[in-house]
A and B are shown apart, each in its own frame.
Chain A
Amino acid sequence: MIPAFAVVGHPNKGKSSVVSTLARDDRVAVSMQSGTTQVSESFDIHLGEAHYKLIDTPGFQRPRKVLAWLQQQPVSADQRSERVKAFLQDEACRQQFPDESELLAPIMAGAAILYVVDSSRPYSPEYEAEMEILRWTGQPSMALINPITSRDYIDNWQQALQQFFRTVRIFDAVQADLNQHIELLQAFAHLHQPWSESLSSLVSAVQAEIHRQQLQSCKLAAHLLEDLVRYQQRQKVPDEKQAKSLQPVLQAAYYSWMRKREQKAHDELQTLYRHHQLQRDNTELTLSDDLFDTEKWYAWGLNRKQLAAVGGIAGAAAGGMLDLTVAGSSLLLGTLGGGAIGSSAAWLGANKLAKQKLKGLPLGGFEARIGPMKNRNFPTSYWRVFCSFINALISVTTPGGILSVWMMLR
């Protein structure tokens, strides 16, 4: 049997967000029903040759009554799972307790249990009925504490959950990084011995997928940088006047091509990291307006240490040319070696990025040309901005949404 995990719990405790995060594909999240889950939905997660199922389920609605029904006949521990099956086969129970019927069905069909609770809400005994019902199923189980808004009650939850579950983990579905994701999959592998081998292959497949994304990101970044830096537009015309009149057209075409190339790379990265539904809010980086915005310096080329070193500059620079010049040079990493500090206010102005030339041709006529990139700082600065985009994609775990992206090429 393919490993299957039913994600269960109280309503609105982040079950669906756990499913969408573990799926690592926001198309799963979008295909999930919006709002409160009412029927169980199964999602096949494929990674390489590895395969498992995640099942999003409705929340418990009337667990005490369901537990009372289960307990109305005395049964020994070895008969409890049969009693849960009897509950599912009882038409009256299915009508009276539709949510519990929906969530228990995949478990009794063989799925392991991932019981999700929210550590921002206090523990209370009302949850005990839920956990007791799950214990009656006899299926392998694990509890996940999902800190939806805070970790205030984690200790209380751990104390309580450890009495019902052998494995208790904290898993922040919104903040979880890839290592936490892999650790959780490794814990799954220990839940049920027959699944151990296939889940270990799944962990290997996730690691391979991460490595593939890293290598592919390198190639995308390298091709993009080289394309942007080397690109040029040229056009031959009969005379110099025509060549001059052609320059604005060529310039527009040049920047249009650059923008499209950048957007293509962003699209490819989004696909690579499976953020198919993520929208981008592209914000132009304009140095003149943001010269003293240290947060943007950081994106342009300064790391935290460097920012700390120039921490006083933002306040001091407003009236001082010296500081203004230094502010420019701190961004213009490439000019330091050459000793030339350029005009900071226009360092990435559209007209300053690339060379424009008119050239007489040996056999008559003229050629108008724009490009390649002449701004020495562009590769370093652009590399930083591109990295910020990759880091944002890696850290996004919530489905859909809007990602703010700083674009140099507007």
Chain B
Amino acid sequence: MDDAQVGKLLEQLSGQQQKPIYKALDRLSRQKDVTNLAEVLEPLFTDGQIPD
């Protein structure tokens, strides 16, 4: 993997982390309160966006 590929990967991953679900999971990983995690997850299920 060259630098360009690594850069592209990190960019994609950091973009992914902006999504509400990843923000909520990040808070959870730091043992912080997450306000209604089920509601954060809900659009993924109802819009058929569960990661496959």
Contacts and interface: CB of A to CB of B under 8 A. Distances in A.
A377 interface: yes
A195 B27 CA distance: 52
Contacts of B22: 333, 380
B12 A334 contact: no
A221 B41 contact: yes
B37 A225 contact: yes
B40 to A, nearest CB: 8
B26 A334 contact: yes
Given A218-B41, A312-B1, A306 B9 contact: yes
Contacts of B17: 333, 336-337
Interface string A369-386: 000110111111001100
Contacts of A187: none
Chain B interface category by residue count = 20 to 34
A376 B29 contact: yes
Interface stretch (A34-42, A74-82, A196-204, A209-217): A209-217
Given A323-B1, A377-B29, A384-B51, A214 B21 contact: no
Interface in A301-332: 303, 305-306, 309-310, 312-313, 316-317, 322-323, 326, 330
B32 to A, nearest CB: 10
A313 B52 CA distance: 21
Contacts, number: 101
B31 A380 contact: no
Nearest to A377: B29
Contact of B46 (A214, A303, A310, A372): A214
Given A337-B17, A380-B22, A384-B51, A225 B6 contact: no
A192 interface: no
A316 B2 CA distance: 10
A229 B28 CA distance: 7
Contacts of A384: 51
A226 interface: yes
A260 interface: no
Contacts of A230: 31
B42 A310 contact: no
Interface in A190-247: 211, 214-215, 217-219, 221-223, 225-226, 229-230
Interface string B2-23: 0001101110111011000110
A316 B1 contact: yes
- Which 9 residue pairs spanning A and B have beta carbons closest together? A222-B37, A222-B38, A214-B45, A379-B25, A218-B41, A376-B29, A218-B38, A379-B28, A387-B51
Interface of A: 211, 214-215, 217-219, 221-223, 225-226, 229-230, 303, 305-306, 309-310, 312-313, 316-317, 322-323, 326, 330, 333-334, 336-337, 372-373, 375-380, 383-384, 387-388, 390-391
12 contacts: A219-B38, A306-B9, A312-B5, A322-B1, A333-B13, A334-B25, A336-B14, A375-B29, A378-B29, A379-B25, A380-B22, A388-B51
